[in-house]
Amino acid sequence: MEIILNKTIDTLGLEGEIVNVKPGYARNYLIPKKFATLVNKANLARLEKEQQAIAKRLEEEKKGAESLAAQLEDKVLTITRKVGEDERLFGSVNTADIAEKLAELGVTVERRSILLSEPIKKIGESKVAVKVGYQMTTDVTVQVVPESAEEEKA
């Protein structure tokens, strides 16, 4: 079933694109949530009229994503945790911890935009991908250090 996307959806495409999806997905999810409309003459005419506005919105989105990527570039987040035997953490470092640390540095990122396949459970350095928008990602370095070592530095 062909539909016109009203909103950018990472797995399907950008706003204003005509994509082909399974009928059930379109009828039961995309169209009721107003993420898409059916392809017909009226909707195609509306799309033609809105092409410039859509292009402008996508360009603004891209600029915002690039500026956020520039802010996050080369950031090193230091997170302290209690450590047990074999340098394993009591608990773990998850996306909420990383988002909180980024907020402390003045960069607001949604927790679900942080692409962490599984929580960090060992001390050391890890690269974590952050989705900044407009189908762009950037890497942030997360450094997990034991609590005692952080106290000695202070």
Angstrom CA distances, 52 to 45, 55, 65, 66, 141, stand at 13, 5, 20, 21, 38
pTM: 0.72
Please write the tens of the pLDDT for every residue from 43-62.
999 999 999 998 898 899 88
Q: Which fold has domain 71-153?
A: Ribosomal Protein L9; domain 2 (3.10.430)
Q: Is pLDDT of 151 > 60?
A: no
Please write the tens of the pLDDT for every residue from 66-94.
888 888 888 899 999 888 877 788 888 99
For the chain, the domains span: 2-65, 71-153
Concatenate the DSSP letters of all residues of 105-153 into one string.
TT----GGGEE-SS-EEESEEEEEEEEEETTEEEEEEEEEEEHHHHHHH
Q: Which fold has domain 2-65?
A: Ribosomal Protein L9; domain 1 (3.40.5)
At 18, is the pLDDT very low, low, confident or very high (cuts 50, 70, 90)?
A: very high
Q: Are 79 and 144 in contact (CB under 8 A)?
A: yes
Please write the tens of the pLDDT for every residue from 29-43.
999 999 999 999 999
Please write the tens of the pLDDT for every residue from 115-133.
998 999 888 899 999 988 7
